[in-house]
Chain A
Amino acid sequence: MGFLRKQRGVPFVRRAPTESGDEVPIHVAKMTAPHVLWWHSHVQPIIDRDPSRADNGWNWLLYAPFAEVAGRVLTRKPAGYTIGISDRESDRFIPCALVQLLGRVPALDDHSRESVFVWFLSTAPEEALTTIEDHPIPVDQVPRRLGSIALDVAVTHSLNKRRLGRTALYADERGGDALLGWYRRRGMAVLPDDDELPPGPRRLLKPSDGRYCYYSVPAAVEASKELDPLR
């Protein structure tokens, strides 16, 4: 199943739906320092006003360099992506979601296989995108499904780097059952809390507690197909 997808790879999403019913072009870029600096200046303060968000209080100025360094040292092949909107006229890029992942960790469902692990994932609230000084996005043009698109970027990375779509993450406790349910609805399985994690620091320091989620190969292929209309 999904033989071609696994062999030839998959393009990243290029469009996102909007409230107006149109689609807006999306640009998936490599995450760079100006992206996280702008995010921490403009988007994070708005996220931090909402205590119900799992990414409340996050600091990408710490996470991005640390994940990059630690991932490289542990030969985990770190990668960071920014999903955003390009404005060619003004030569500006508007970050709408950030994803930091490790490209090479043992898979949760088969420790002998390699998987991608999503370390951090955050999407901009609508308010952050409609209040950008000099570049506000009209409400009806704000990209939707940013969470699904950000997760798809991780799955696409996995497919394109010969991890066959295997992708895992830890659903932050602050997101509660709602967050866990959201990942389930995206087709992810939840590792039972009595299952052992693959060898590594997490097995000892952050053992399975029923909040590790993962895509098996068939589930990842199905999830990837679901976003094909936006590629």
Chain B
Amino acid sequence: MPTPITAFADAAAKYGDIDPNDIEAVQKWFADELPKLPVDTIEQVLHDLLERDGTAAEREIVPMYPKRVPLPSLGSSPPALPPLLAEQWRTLLGRLLRRLRRR
């Protein structure tokens, strides 16, 4: 979704009274404060962002890249598990057939 970062910054300013030029404060607001807002307000934020989807940023916000962030640990990377049958359907089918044969 090519919604300009300025749209996110303006939404944080409008609904959270955040300085739209402070990208770190904007990021923090989206991560920490937005989830606490009423559903109607969150829907309004989505509406504002989609309204500016595909538009060019009308001003520049200098990106801030955090420095020296370590690689994530395996513990913070839980595997995405598919359904049991997707992984083990052959094993489970084999077990079922063996059980049926025994009967």
Which residues of A are at the interface with B, using a C-beta cutoff of 8 A?
A: 4, 7-12, 27-30, 32-35, 37-38, 40-42, 44-45, 48, 54, 57, 59, 61-63, 65-66, 69-70, 73-74, 81-82, 84, 86, 88, 91-95, 119-120, 132, 135, 153, 156, 160, 170, 172-174, 201-202, 205-206
- Contact: A41 with B47, CB < 8 Å? no
Neighbour of A45 across the interface among B65, B71, B87, CB < 8 A: B65
Contacts of B75 in A (CB 8 A): 91
Which 7 pairs across A and B sit closest by C-beta, in order of nearness? A9-B86, A41-B69, A9-B83, A34-B72, A8-B85, A29-B77, A93-B77
Neighbour of B78 across the interface among A30, A95, A135, A156, CB < 8 A: A30
- Contact: B86 with A69, CB < 8 Å? no
Which residues of B are at the interface with A, using a C-beta cutoff of 8 A?
A: 1-2, 4-5, 8, 23, 26-27, 30-31, 34-35, 39, 42-43, 45-47, 49-51, 53-54, 57, 63, 65-80, 82-83, 85-87, 89
- Contact: A28 with B79, CB < 8 Å? yes
The total of Cβ contacts below 8 Å across the A-B interface reads 149
Given A41-B67, A70-B46: A29 touches B79 (CB 8 Å cut-off): yes
Neighbour of A95 across the interface among B27, B50, B72, B80, CB < 8 A: B72
- Contact: B68 with A11, CB < 8 Å? no
- Contact: A59 with B2, CB < 8 Å? no
In the complex, A73 Cα to B46 Cα: how many Å?
A: 10
Neighbour of B79 across the interface among A27, A69, A92, A173, CB < 8 A: A27
In the complex, A89 Cα to B27 Cα: how many Å?
A: 33
Smallest Cβ distance from A204 to chain B, in angstroms?
Answer: 9
In the complex, A170 Cα to B45 Cα: how many Å?
A: 20
Contacts of A205 in B (CB 8 A): 47, 50-51, 53
In the complex, A4 Cα to B86 Cα: how many Å?
A: 9
Given A93-B72, A95-B72, A120-B1: A86 touches B53 (CB 8 Å cut-off): no
- Contact: A70 with B42, CB < 8 Å? yes
Neighbour of A35 across the interface among B46, B51, B72, CB < 8 A: B72
Q: Which residue of A lies closest to B51 (CB)?
A: A205
In the complex, A34 Cα to B73 Cα: how many Å?
A: 8
